[in-house]
Amino acid sequence: MDLNVQKDLLLKRRADLTGDLAEIEHKLDDPMPKDWEDRASERQGDEVLEALGNADLEELRRIDAALGRIEDGSYGTCVKCGEAISEERLAAVPTAPLCRTCARDS
């Protein structure tokens, strides 16, 4: 497995998420409408944006952890059992810290 390719994919996804989070933050900072019904609708939209933002933040944490494993040389090794994570799994889930067996047992 080419670590440079994996690192580039992770960095690109990280940049995309960072852009998405900035856009969400900007939308959440918009002033609330004065109309009560519009305000209620706006709050529902804000809740959805916050949930999306939280999911993006969690993915960013996983990406940063994977980038850290690339830097320290442990990428592709299960953090639980120490066995190699299959290339197929890493291709499907580049942030995977666990091999299939340990992920299934978790």
The domain locations on the chain are 1-75, 76-106
Q: Do 85 and 98 touch, CB atoms closer than 8 A?
A: yes
Count of CB atoms situated within 10 Å of the CB of 76 = 19
Which residues contact residue 66 at a Cβ distance below 8 angstroms, ignoring those fewer than 6 apart?
6, 10, 75, 94, 95, 96, 97
Between 25 and 74, residue with greater pLDDT:
74
pLDDT bin (cut points 50, 70, 90) of residue 44 is: confident
pLDDT per position as a tens digit, 16-33: 999 988 888 887 777 766
What number is the average pLDDT over the span 88-104?
95
- The closest alpha carbon to 98, from 48, 83, 60, belongs to 83
pLDDT, tens digit, 9 for 90 and up, residues 57-69: 999 999 999 999 9
Tracing tokens 């933002």 back to the chain, one arrives at 53
Which pLDDT score is estimated for 38?
67
pLDDT at 40 over 80: no
